[in-house]
């Protein structure tokens, strides 16, 4: 039941992720195409230009819990990143620090999460933080 | 029987594989799917066979996007597509979108193209000075232990895939910390050879994200960077501190020359503040200094002395927004040199010149003028040439005497028309046509405009010029109310130009008789062309010759 109510939102999201959204800078899709529960997603954020993240590709894992979309998903960076609100040892996005998970609304979606994270990359406080070398991933 | 059974059996499975082969043969005409490839900037559609591999897809993409396949990174549904995968494997079907990132930095490729340097440190430190000869030894000299330690530290992080701009910024930070190191580096012939390559430097500069930001805000700077002469000049300056000082002195000179243009100084200062400040920030990281840095300080010190020359502007009739004190004081000096000397007319003229100053300032703020100004300041000669051109002078005069015209000039429409070269050409043609008409058929002129007719009929010398154009404004009011704004502008413009040139009109041939004879003697037999050249240059033979020579080979 929870899966079906969840999937009501997720299937359109799946299609949207496959069709590509707006400016081509975030991408997401099911981690496993055969996942019928539509809970595990991978996401990708392309680092915005004119920031230190520019031209880099950040890979994320997103897990939609059973209460999604009423509850925010767990988001975790796979690629190493240095940014406020992201745990530097395992890449978990702190749900209290990042506004989209913190002030989650039913209408939010994975796309919103990714775009919000990308927006934070462009914020003054983050855009110049020194980054680890490209291509490194968190160990877990 | 069993065989029969079996023989009947196999046909089915054999048909199965046959059928499978049939469908396997079907890929000979594979289904073509249309996949959209989207970059942050562009979007293209690709028709590829369904079963192609990512590698093949990338090859098709690389042709369209003009990059190399290893620069391309494809993303679908949040996963990076690896070369050996197939499109089907990732579930890419007809009509779906794949994201593309083009790695534009060629620094990592520079690293990869130097396979001779096996170790990561060597690869990156070699790529830094971008030269093929003995990178390692010369690196250790200028960079010193500190930064080499830094480099070594970086290498421990797996430097081969490091973003070059990162490396660069870290290097710069270390460099900034120690000026002696800076000097050492600058003197290193290696670095100098690198610096002397403008393309390279431009790439380096572009790689700096702040510069990119700056370029987005100010397209002038991208022009500046793309102009190899300017780049070379700037690089030479940066290399040579003595030359830097000389350059700064030149710029001070240029600035003081520009002071004499009403309002130009102020506009120039504004322009430099727009460009100089961000360049200072960005360029400081690159070279530890900015050739323009001193300009800011010199202009502010120049500013400090201006107010002492300010006149009391209160009683002046000034319908337009009062410009800053510096402008009026600058224009005061011009007014005393150009306009008449009496008190009343000077105050009037000041008011008008102030308006003219406004006009000039707003003209200067058009982007075209800004880039022109930049080039001007680098070449003070150009300013002198520009100022001494007679038509400029007459234009300034007529402007100062014709406040209506100045007001008209401030209209943004007219400004855009002014900056349109073809419009200017058309205006010039009109002016020339009017001039010829004035000489050939003075009777015809009054039908055009009463204002223009007046100079045609009177014109006997200099003093009539100003009176005529001051008569012109009163006449302009009548045609003004009738015609549309564009025509207004053109008429006034033409009147100003014609009025300014009126004193010369009646007897161009007589006036230039002497010059014409000289030109004839020199071998320029085309009388018409000579006359035109002489009119255009106001009787200056040398300039006329240059004009003629410029047009003849074509």
Look up the CATH number of the domain holding residue A46. 3.10.110.10
Contact flag A52-B39 (C-beta cutoff 8 Å): no
Report chain B's mean pLDDT, rounded to a whole number. Answer: 56
- Enumerate chain B positions whose Cβ falls within 8 A of a Cβ in A: 36, 38-40, 43, 73, 75-80, 91, 95-101, 103-105, 157-159, 161-163, 166, 170, 209, 212-213, 216
A44·B80 Cβ contact <8 A: yes
* SS3 of residue B38 by DSSP: strand
Residue pair A28/A62 in contact by the 8 Å Cβ criterion: yes
B95 chain-A contacts, CB cut-off 8 A: 19
Closest residue in A to B161 (Cα) is A134
The pLDDT value recorded for residue B92 is: 79
> In what order do the strands lie in the sheet containing A74-77?
A26-30, A40-46, A57-63, A74-77
Give the residue on B whose Cα is nearest the Cα of A54.
Answer: B209
The proportion of chain B whose per-residue pLDDT surpasses 90, expressed as a percent, equals 0
Its ipTM equals: 0.72
Read off the pLDDT band of B210 (50, 70, 90): low
Question: In whole angstroms, how far apart are CA A28 and each of A31, A71, A76, B45, B389?
Answer: 9, 19, 13, 20, 65
Per-residue pLDDT band at B533 (split at 50, 70, 90): confident
pLDDT at residue B294 greater than cutoff 80: no
Lowest mean pLDDT among B98-107, B240-249, B443-452: B443-452
What percentage of chain B carries pLDDT values higher than 70? 24
- Average the pLDDT over each of A102-106, B190-194, B251-255 and give the range with the smallest value: B190-194
First vs last Cα of chain B: how many Å apart? Answer: 101
A19–B209: do the CB atoms touch at under 8 Å? no
Are A132 and B77 an interchain contact pair (Cβ–Cβ within 8 Å)?
Answer: no
Contacts of B218 in chain A (CB under 8 A): none
Q: Report residue B527 as tokens.
A: 């009388």
Please state, in angstroms and rounded to a whole number, the distance separating the CA atoms of residues B106 and B200.
11
Q: Is position A75 within any domain? A: yes
Query: Band of the pLDDT at B211, cuts 50, 70, 90?
Result: low
Among A7-11, B60-64, B467-471, B530-534, whose mean pLDDT is lowest?
B467-471
**Whose CA is closest to A6, among A75, A68, A62?**
A68
C-alpha B393/C-alpha B416 separation (Å) is 22
Q: Mind telling me how many Å the CA of A48 is from chain B's nearest CA?
A: 9
Q: Which residues of B touch A18 (CB under 8 A)?
A: 76-77, 91, 96-97
pLDDT exceeds cutoff 50 at B148: no
Bridge partners, B36 (sequence order): B45, B97
Identify all chain A residues contacting B79, using CB atoms and an 8 Å cutoff. Answer: 29, 42, 44, 59
Mean predicted confidence (pLDDT) in B404-425: 56
Best mutation target, A13, A21, A22, A24, to test chain B (most B CBs within 10 A): A24
Contact: B209, A41; criterion CB under 8 Å? no
Residue A16 falls within a domain, yes or no? no
- Angstrom distance (rounded) from CA A31 to CA A71: 20
pLDDT at B150: 37
Confidence of residue B281 (pLDDT cuts 50, 70, 90): low
Task: Please write the tens of the pLDDT for every residue from B349-402.
Answer: 344 444 444 444 444 444 445 555 555 555 555 545 544 444 455 555 555 555
Q: Which residues of chain A have pLDDT under 70?
A: 1-10, 16-24, 140
pLDDT at B113: 32
**Domain contains A64:** yes
State which of A24-28, B456-460, B531-535 shows the largest mean pLDDT. B531-535
- Whether residue A34 is contained in a domain is answered as yes
Name chain A contacts of B40, Cβ cutoff 8 Å: 23-25, 46, 49
Query: Does A52 sit within 8 Å of B77, measured CB to CB?
Result: no
pLDDT surpassing 60 at residue B441: yes
Average pLDDT of the segment spanning B78-82:
79
Mapping DSSP to helix (H, G, I), strand (E, B) and coil, where does residue B88 land?
Answer: helix
Decide if A77 is inside a domain: yes
Q: Are B236 and B384 in contact, with CB atoms under 8 Å apart?
A: no
The more confidently predicted of residues B156 and A125 is A125
Smallest CA-to-CA distance from B359 within B289, B393, B323, B406 is with B406
Name the closest residue on chain A to residue B159, using Cα atoms: A133
- The per-residue pLDDT for B534 is 82
Prior bond of B146 cis (ω within 30°):
no
Q: For residue A71, what are the domain limits?
A: 24-90
Cβ of A49 within 8 Å of Cβ of B40? The answer is yes
Cβ distance of B76 and A18 shorter than 8 Å? yes
State the pLDDT confidence band at B343, using cuts at 50, 70 and 90: very low
Sign of CA dihedral B191, B193, B195, B197: negative
pLDDT band at residue B426 using 50, 70 and 90 as cut-offs: confident
- Cα A13 to chain centroid, rounded: 13
| Predicted local confidence at residue A93, as pLDDT | 85
Instruction: Tell whether A17 is covered by a domain.
Output: no
Residue B296 pLDDT > 80: no
The DSSP H or E segment spanning A27 is strand A26-30
- Please state, in angstroms and rounded to a whole number, the distance separating the CA atoms of residues B309 and B325: 9
Is A43 at the interface with chain B, CB within 8 A?
yes
Residue B109 pLDDT more than 50? no
Q: How far is A113 from chain B (nearest CA, A)?
A: 13
Res B82: pLDDT: 83
Interchain contact, B105 vs A55, CB within 8 Å? yes
Q: Is residue A95 part of a domain?
A: no
How many interface pairs between A and B have CB atoms less than 8 angstroms apart? 96
A24–B163: do the CB atoms touch at under 8 Å? no
User: Which stretches within chain A are classed as H helix?
Assistant: 2-19, 99-102, 110-121
Q: Is residue A19 a part of any domain in this protein?
A: no
The more confident residue out of B242 and B485 is: B242
**Residue A73 in tokens:** 């998903």
Tell me which of B101-115, B312-326, B328-342, B423-437 is least confident. Answer: B328-342
Task: Compute the radius of gyration of chain B from its Cα atoms.
Answer: 35
Total domain count for chain A? Answer: 1
Q: What is the mean pLDDT of residues B86-96?
A: 80
- The mean pLDDT of B422-427, rounded to a whole number, is 73
pLDDT digits (tens, 9 = 90+) for B490-532: 555 555 554 444 444 445 667 778 888 888 888 888 888 888 8
């Amino acid at each position: 039941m929870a899966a079906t109510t969840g999937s009501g939102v997720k299937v359109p999201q799946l299609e949207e992720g496959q069709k590509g959204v707006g400016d081509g800078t975030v991408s997401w899709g099911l981690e496993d195409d055969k996942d019928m529960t539509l809970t595990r997603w991978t996401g990708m954020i392309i680092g915005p230009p004119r920031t230190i993240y520019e031209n880099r590709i950040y890979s994320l894992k997103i897990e939609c819990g059973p209460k999604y979309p009423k509850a925010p998903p767990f988001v975790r960076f796979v690629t190493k990143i240095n940014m406020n609100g992201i745990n530097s040892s395992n890449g978990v996005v702190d749900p209290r620090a990042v506004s989209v998970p913190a002030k989650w609304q039913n209408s939010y979606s994975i796309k919103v999460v990714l775009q919000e994270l990308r927006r934070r990359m462009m914020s003054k406080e983050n855009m110049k933080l020194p980054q680890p070398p490209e291509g490194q991933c968190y160990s877990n | 029987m069993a065989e029969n059974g079996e023989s009947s059996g196999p046909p089915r499975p054999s048909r199965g594989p046959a059928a499978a082969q049939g469908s396997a043969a079907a890929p000979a005409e594979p289904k073509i799917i249309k996949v959209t490839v989207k970059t942050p900037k562009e979007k293209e559609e690709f028709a590829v066979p369904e079963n192609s591999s990512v590698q093949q897809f990338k090859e098709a993409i690389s042709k369209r996007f003009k990059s190399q396949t290893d620069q391309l990174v494809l993303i679908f549904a949040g996963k990076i597509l690896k070369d050996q995968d197939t499109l089907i494997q990732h579930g890419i079907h007809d009509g779906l979108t794949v994201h593309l990132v083009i790695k534009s930095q060629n620094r990592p490729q520079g690293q990869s193209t130097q396979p001779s340097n096996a170790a990561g440190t060597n690869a990156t430190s070699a790529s830094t000075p971008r030269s093929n000869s003995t990178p390692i030894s010369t690196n250790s000299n200028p960079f010193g232990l500190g930064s080499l330690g830094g480099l070594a530290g970086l290498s421990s992080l797996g430097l081969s895939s490091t973003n070059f701009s990162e490396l660069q910024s870290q290097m710069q930070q270390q460099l900034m910390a120690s000026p002696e190191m800076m000097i050492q580096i600058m003197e290193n012939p290696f670095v100098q050879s690198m610096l002397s390559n403008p393309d390279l430097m431009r790439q380096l500069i572009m790689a700096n994200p702040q510069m990119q930001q700056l370029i987005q805000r100010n397209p002038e700077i991208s022009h500046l960077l793309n102009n190899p002469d300017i780049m070379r000049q700037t690089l030479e300056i940066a290399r040579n501190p003595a030359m830097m000082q000389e350059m700064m002195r030149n710029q001070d000179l240029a600035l003081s020359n520009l002071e004499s243009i009403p309002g130009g100084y102020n506009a120039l200062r504004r322009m430099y503040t727009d460009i100089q400040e961000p360049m200072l920030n960005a360029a400081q990281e690159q070279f530890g200094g900015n050739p323009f840095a001193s300009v800011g300080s010199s202009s502010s010190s120049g500013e400090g002395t201006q107010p002492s020359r300010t006149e009391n502007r209160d009683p002046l009739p000034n319908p337009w927004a009062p410009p800053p004190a510096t402008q009026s004081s600058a224009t005061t000096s011009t007014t005393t040199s150009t306009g008449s000397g009496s008190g009343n007319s000077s105050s009037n003229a000041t008011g008008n010149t102030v308006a003219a100053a406004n006009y000039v300032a707003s003209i200067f703020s058009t982007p075209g003028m800004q880039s022109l100004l930049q080039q001007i300041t680098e070449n003070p000669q150009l300013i002198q040439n520009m100022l001494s051109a007679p038509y400029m002078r007459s234009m300034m005069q007529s402007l100062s005497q014709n406040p209506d015209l100045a007001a008209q000039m401030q209209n943004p429409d007219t400004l855009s028309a002014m900056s349109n070269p073809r419009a200017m050409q058309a205006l010039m043609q009109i002016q020339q046509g009017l001039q010829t008409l004035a000489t050939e058929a003075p009777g015809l002129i009054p039908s055009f405009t009463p204002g223009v007719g007046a100079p045609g009929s009177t014109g006997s010398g200099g003093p009539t010029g100003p009176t005529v154009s001051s008569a012109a404004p009163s006449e302009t009011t009548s045609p003004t109310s009738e015609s549309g704004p564009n025509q207004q502008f053109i008429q006034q413009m033409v009147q100003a130009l014609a009025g300014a040139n009126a004193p010369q009109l009646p007897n161009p041939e007589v006036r230039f008789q002497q010059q014409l004879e000289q030109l004839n003697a020199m071998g320029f037999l085309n009388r018409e062309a000579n006359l035109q050249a002489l009119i255009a240059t106001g009787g200056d033979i040398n300039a006329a010759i240059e004009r003629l020579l410029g047009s003849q080979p074509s």
